[in-house]
Amino acid sequence: MALQSSGVALRKILSHFPEELSLAFAYGSGVYRQAGPSSGQKGLMLDFVFSVDDPVAWHSKNLQKNWSHYSFLKVLGPKMITTVQNNYGAGVYYNPLIMCDGKLIKYGVISTSLLIEDLLNWNNLYIAGRLQKPVKILAMNENIMLRSALDRNLKSAVTAAFLMLPESFSEEDLFLEIAGLSYSGDFRMVVGEDRTKVSNIVKPNIAHFRELYSAILHENPQVVYKAQQGRLEIDKSPEGQFTQLMSLPRSLQQEINHIMHSPGKNRDVEETLLQVAHDPECGEVVRLGLTAIVRPSSVRQSTKGIFTAGLRKSVVYSSRKLLKMWRGWLWKT
């Protein structure tokens, strides 16, 4: 991890932004080593997400400090920026390709209330998906609701992964499923991302995933976790699967209900989940439900990026992504 940025360097970057952050974290290949052709490369972009309680006030201060970070939307003021942030895409406003402290960074801003909703309900599974993988927390206030939602998101990730796995599997199998949840149906996995991205994230970071999920796995009554052997066994009976389905986030339950019934038929969600629990294709139904959440939110967020980043930066950023995908393809072949 020699080229990965230290916590001190990452926190120093935070000093360039307004302080009112309920949560700030860094993620991606510039923070945690990933396998693949980009591993160890210098000049990797550092990715940040800032959760703020009052986006209008935060953007107002950030415009004063960092006017050049914003696209043409800055001339419309902090209220319009917040409207675009909250009401379009996945509720996050990204400023990419920013030079800060001699490093290239991208940072996203999300309302704390919208983040909590996504963590609990998986409305977009966008920032919630980021937080299902190891991230470096740089700042967090004492918001009990946010802390509880962060924990709930991890437990939901484990439950969803269990439903898509066989009765017995390895830690690596589990972490690959968890890391892949937020990429289910993401159109960027076809155009713009290395298709081995999930594996590249997990394989060098098994220890970090274990640290994130170990306590949850030990406390879960539905799993036998043989930590020494790195193996797990779960209850795949209809009763066990029904319990898991009933504890999934609300948006995923609703999508499963839509998948199982033709339009116009209003069937009780609990009834549908009981039906799915007895279905041999239960895991595939859950995967389709995830796709129904992720695909539209990833398309909307990427489209929104053209406006929040500006056309020039969007072209440069997309080119970097395509180059990374091309390198990944060559590396695999």
Q: How many Å apart are CA 149 and CA 167, to the nearest integer?
A: 28
Task: Sort strands 23-27 and 46-52 into parallel, antiparallel or unpaired.
Answer: antiparallel
> Which residues, in sequence order, are bridge partners of residue 107?
48, 95
pLDDT tens, 287-305?
A: 999 999 998 888 777 776 6
Structural tokens at position 203: 């394989």
Number of helices (H) and strands (E), helices first, in the chain? 14, 8
Model pTM score: 0.87
Residue with tokens 């990944």, as numbered in its chain: 328
Nearest 10 degrees: Cα torsion 154, 160, 166, 170:
-20
Cβ atoms of 58 and 22 closer than 8 Å: no
Q: For residue 256, give the 3-state DSSP assignment.
A: helix
Q: How many Å apart are CA 65 and CA 52, to the nearest integer?
A: 16
Cβ atoms of 224 and 236 closer than 8 Å: no
Q: For residue 223, give the 3-state DSSP assignment.
A: strand
User: Domain-by-domain residue ranges, the chain?
Assistant: 7-332
What string of pLDDT tens digits covers the 333 residues of the chain?
334 667 888 999 999 999 999 999 999 888 988 886 555 555 678 999 999 999 999 999 999 999 999 988 999 999 999 999 999 888 999 999 999 998 999 999 999 999 999 999 999 999 999 999 999 999 999 999 999 999 999 999 999 999 999 999 999 999 999 999 999 876 555 444 455 889 999 999 999 999 999 999 999 999 999 999 999 999 999 999 999 999 999 999 999 999 998 666 678 999 999 999 999 999 999 999 999 999 888 877 777 667 666 555 555 544 444 444 434 434 444
Q: Which residues contact 140 (CB under 8 A, 6 or more apart)?
A: 22, 23, 24, 146, 147
Q: How many Å apart are CA 286 and CA 290, to the nearest integer?
A: 6
Q: For residue 231, give the 3-state DSSP assignment.
A: strand
Task: Sort strands 231-234 and 223-226 into parallel, antiparallel or unpaired.
Answer: antiparallel
pLDDT tens, 59-77?
A: 999 999 999 999 889 999 9
Cβ atoms of 222 and 240 closer than 8 Å: yes
Q: How many Å apart are CA 57 and CA 18, to the nearest integer?
A: 10
Q: How many Å apart are CA 37 and CA 329, to the nearest integer?
A: 9
The string of DSSP codes covering 26-92 is EESTTTS--SSTTTT-TTPPEEEEEEES-HHHHHHHHHHH-GGGS-GGGGGHHHHHHHHHHHSTTSE
